[in-house]
Amino acid sequence: MTKIDHLNITVPDIDEALAFLSIVAPDFKVRKDVKSPDRHRWAHVGNEQSYFALQEPHLDSITPSSAQKTYKNYGVNHIGLVVKNLESIEANLIEQGYCRGIFAPEETYRKRAYFFDKAGFEWELTEFLSEIPDEMYLYE
């Protein structure tokens, strides 16, 4: 079976990315955080199954551009995570000043919410209310 091992994302502020992930993925731990004085900073954060490889802009980037406009420009539209207790996560994100993304319609077997992190990446957070694949991915 194929599975995602990691996603490598260039972010403007690793500490801010780690703060966002601590809310939406509290089981994620920092595996490695390299702050070299002569190279770009990078960090791996995740659990035993997968992780995000976060890095600061490098490779001769002088002025990195902001994140692309989701659903309009080529690139990643959102990053999806399966979470537990979506309502609590939503409340924490709103309390910390994160903005909602696109609207998710109400569904029978899953709850979804979209939020932007401070770097402009949109995240889809899904709480499944069933463990039956045909119900989990029922597009109502």
Q: Is residue 45 part of a domain?
A: yes
Q: Is residue 42 part of a domain?
A: yes
Q: Is residue 115 part of a domain?
A: yes
Q: Is residue 72 part of a domain?
A: no
Q: List the domain range (segments joined by +) for residue 87.
A: 6-56+77-136
Residue 18 sits in a domain whose CATH number is 3.10.180.10
pTM for the predicted model, two decimal places: 0.87
Structural domains of the chain, count: 1
Predicted confidence band at 62 (pLDDT cuts at 50, 70, 90)? low
Q: Is residue 67 part of a domain?
A: no
pLDDT surpassing 80 at residue 29: yes
Q: Is residue 61 part of a domain?
A: no
124: which strand partners? 80, 114
> How high is the mean pLDDT of the chain?
90
Q: Is residue 100 part of a domain?
A: yes
Predicted confidence band at 131 (pLDDT cuts at 50, 70, 90)? very high
